[in-house]
Amino acid sequence: MTNFSKYAVAAIVLLSFLPLGYQFLNQEMNAEEIFAANFTTEKITDFNNQRNTDVSKVKTPEEVEMAKSVLIRSKAIISYNEKKYPEAINLFKSHLASDTNIKNKSKVELYLAKSYLADNKLVEAKETLKKIIKEGKNSLKQEAEWYLVLTLIKENNVEQAKKGLNRILLSQTSSAHKKKALKLQQQIDKNYVL
């Protein structure tokens, strides 16, 4: 067999698998797969606003309570980063309840909502995200809108998710999620006919 014949046979064999590969690449995704492809829980690295957590070095009862609250927040972040979401949920809730003057309350609530979502507690995630959208700062509202869309997809409520995606895409403000929202919309359009 000549070299040309070997290459011809190899090409024929490879071309025979092309339809199978095309079919594999164009497999439809269900709502759970679309959610999994777009949901991330990146590690929390913002330990700013951390104050003294050594309770023995504080003097006033207010400082003691503040140090305890910061310690709870730190434990919540560690649990979240270690993907121990039920533990993180309890600690974030405890932190929010223990300190009424939290500087970045909406940010903590966003971590709580993402923990709920990662732990498949969709009702709680939606409630928390809607609260952030209503009360939070603009950048956190955009984050909450993104995760609310993902929550709706996880619930298989694709029609409502598309409405949320349209709000993100048509928003006049610059959103870090517009590119991801466009990709997600394409995934939905490819896999769902509404």
Among 86, 84, 108, which Cα is nearest to 97's?
Answer: 108
pLDDT at 61 over 90: no
The span from the CA of 31 to the CA of 158, in Å, is 8
Label residues 48-61 b or e (16+ Cβ within 10 Å = b): eeeeebeeeebeee
How confident is the model at residue 30, as a pLDDT?
Answer: 85
Tokens of 8: 């011809």
The span from the CA of 80 to the CA of 73, in Å, is 10
Q: Who wins on pLDDT, 165 or 193?
A: 165
How confident is the model at residue 11, as a pLDDT?
Answer: 54
pLDDT at 51 over 50: no
pLDDT at 136 over 50: yes
Model confidence at 68, pLDDT cuts 50, 70, 90, reads confident
pLDDT tens sequence across 73-115: 999 999 999 999 999 999 999 999 987 777 788 899 999 999 9
Domains of the chain: 30-191 (1.25.40.10)
pLDDT at 150 over 90: yes
Q: Who wins on pLDDT, 54 or 140?
A: 140
pLDDT at 22 over 70: no
pLDDT at 23 over 50: no
Q: Who wins on pLDDT, 110 or 11?
A: 110
